[in-house]
Amino acid sequence: MKGTIVKCLEELVTEKFGAEKWRESLERAGIPEWRTFTVLGDVDEAEFMRIMQGVAGAALLSMEQAMDAFGEHWSTVYGPKVYGAYFSARSARELLLNLDHIHEVMTKSMESARPPRFRYEWRGDKLLIMHYESRRGLAALMPGLIRGLGKYYNEKLTARVVGNAVHVQFS
C-alpha cells in the first residue's frame, strides 16, 4: 500500500499531539528508527495497522477513535491539500460515487499500487451501500474517511461497517 496513507497519519499525529508522540507511535509499532516513509513508497498493510495501534496507544485513543481521527484528517486536511482536484466534487455524495473511479485512475501510473475498488448499491435514495473490494481487509478505515467527507462538505451523514460493506445514510 502506498506510503501516502502513513504520511497523512504522521501529519495528523505531529500536528495534534506533537513529534514526540509520532516517534512513540512508531516505537510502539516496533518500527526501526532508520525506516522512512514516502508518499509513493510501499507500506505493508499489517505495518500500517501496527502504526495505527501505536498511535492509539501513544495518544490514549481507542482504535476506533484513532481510525476516525485519521479519516477526518485525510478527508478534511490532507486530501484537499494533496489531491485537491478530486475535491472539486460538489457534495460528499458526488465524491463518494466517484471514489471507485478516483482510486482506479490515480493509482494507474503508480508502480505496485493495488487500490481498493468499490461497488455501489442504492436502497432508496438516501441509503448507499458501498461494497469494499480489496484483499487488504481495511474496510474498518472507511467510516472515518466517509464521516470526514461529511464534515468537509458540511453534510449530515452516518457511516457504519456491515460485513464487507459500508452503509452510508444521507439525510
Q: Report the 10 Å Cβ neighbour count for 82.
A: 14
Binding mask 84-123 for ligand HEM (x = CB under 6 A): --x------------x--xx--xx-----xxxx-------
Q: Is 158 in the site for ligand HEM (CB under 6 A)?
A: no
CB of 101 to ligand HEM, least distance (A): 10
Single-letter amino acid, residue 170: F
Q: How far apart are CA 21 and CA 166, in angstroms?
A: 31
Percentage helix, strand, coil for the chain under 3-state DSSP, each rounded to 5: 55, 15, 30
Residue with Cβ nearer ligand HEM (31 or 77): 77
- The set of cell numbers assigned to 130 is 458501498
CB of 59 to ligand HEM, least distance (A): 21
Q: Tell me: does residue 149 bind ligand HEM (CB under 6 A).
A: yes
| 1 makes contact with ligand HEM (CB under 6 A) | yes
- For the chain, what is the largest distance between any 2 Cα atoms, rounded to a whole number of angstroms? 51
Check binding of 169 to ligand HEM (CB under 6 A). no
Instruction: List binders of ligand HEM among 126-145 (CB under 6 A).
Output: 134, 136, 138, 141-142, 145
Please state the closest distance from residue 135 (CB atom) to ligand HEM, in A: 7
What minimum distance in Å lies between the beta carbon of 106 and ligand HEM?
Answer: 6
Return all residues near 116 (Cβ < 8 A) that are at least 6 apart.
103, 132, 133, 134, 136, 138
The three cell numbers locating residue 163: 460485513
